[in-house]
Copies of this chain bind each other. A is one copy, B any other.
């Protein structure tokens, strides 16, 4: 590896407070060579499912050896456990509240001890950051805590098939107002997508395949179907947000 130890950060701390910097300083106190990439700190406060989605779509893109520090932690200081996870050469450190739900399959998991003196309201700085720093600088996962056989596995909703109709949901609305769904690439082309009372068909390649201001469905950069408005906001045009239902069905002849 030509690079220094790398930690990605994913939190709901925003960028106005000093919380993210306090976590980075805590990691640099363990090893000043650690480098950081911010995934985002704009997860809605306490939105565990939103953070899980962001992590799921990004972690594999980082180099093997990266440790992902995920702190969306409404239960901080309560009985909820703190965990560290190893999978396919990547490390993960987070509260055990389901935020790592999409990376637990086939992973090794340990429960972290809460050090005496850790602030009961800021485990990000006093529990998770030091553990991430130690993990990324080569400390073995098993040295960080005790084996954990039953990490929290949220019931993940997935798009599902029902009588020729694929039913999914909007899982994210991005900066441009594009609606990201959990619908996989359809295996046939003569389909129609129902969303917000509108029919969109066919699945296009990109925004530019429709006229300005028109709705367009396409396979997005996360590999699932997205709905956008060319040079506009689909979220605003359709009045939809996360959780909205989206259906794909065969196009009537």
Residues of A near any B CB (own CB < 8 A): 1-4, 6, 8, 12-19, 21-22, 24-26, 28-29, 31-42, 45-46, 54, 57-58, 61-63, 74-79, 119-122, 125-126, 174-176, 205-209, 218-221, 226, 228, 231
Q: Which residues of B contact A6 (CB under 8 A)?
A: 28, 32
Q: Which residues of B contact A174 (CB under 8 A)?
A: 16-17, 19
Q: How far is the CA of A110 from the CA of B176 in the complex (A)?
A: 29
Cβ–Cβ contact A119 & B28, under 8 A: no
Q: How far does the Cβ of A179 sit from chain B's closest Cβ, in whole Å?
A: 13
Cβ–Cβ contact A18 & B32, under 8 A: no
Q: How far is the CA of A29 from the CA of B206 in the complex (A)?
A: 26
- CB-defined A-B contacts under 8 Å, sample of 29: A3-B28, A3-B33, A4-B33, A6-B28, A6-B32, A13-B175, A15-B15, A15-B38, A15-B42, A16-B42, A17-B174, A18-B39, A21-B37, A28-B63, A36-B37, A45-B175, A45-B176, A74-B207, A75-B208, A76-B208, A77-B208, A78-B206, A78-B207, A79-B208, A120-B218, A121-B207, A121-B226, A121-B228, A126-B221
Q: How far is the CA of A41 from the CA of B37 in the complex (A)?
A: 15
Cβ–Cβ contact A61 & B121, under 8 A: no
Known contacts A38-B21, A120-B218, A218-B121; decide if A61 and B1 are in contact (CB<8 Å): no
Q: How far is the CA of A12 from the CA of B61 in the complex (A)?
A: 21
By secondary structure, the A interface counts as loop
- Of the candidates B42, B58, B61, B120, the one whose C-beta lies within 8 Å of that of A29 is B61
Give the residue name and chain of the B residue nearest to A78 (CB). B208
Q: Which residues of B contact A175 (CB under 8 A)?
A: 12-14, 16-17, 19, 45
- For the A-B complex with A17-B175, A18-B58, A119-B220 known, give 16 more contacts whose Cβ atoms are closer than 8 Å: A2-B33, A6-B28, A16-B42, A18-B54, A18-B57, A21-B37, A22-B58, A26-B61, A28-B37, A77-B207, A77-B208, A78-B207, A119-B219, A120-B205, A121-B221, A126-B221
Give the residue name and chain of the B residue nearest to A221 (CB). B122
Q: How far is the CA of A174 from the CA of B2 in the complex (A)?
A: 38
Q: How far is the CA of A119 from the CA of B12 in the complex (A)?
A: 28
Q: Which residues of B contact A226 (CB under 8 A)?
A: 121
| Residue from A31, A34, A35, A54 whose CB has the most chain B CB atoms within 10 Å | A35
| Residue from A21, A22, A24, A119 whose CB has the most chain B CB atoms within 10 Å | A21
Q: How far does the Cβ of A229 sit from chain B's closest Cβ, in whole Å?
A: 11
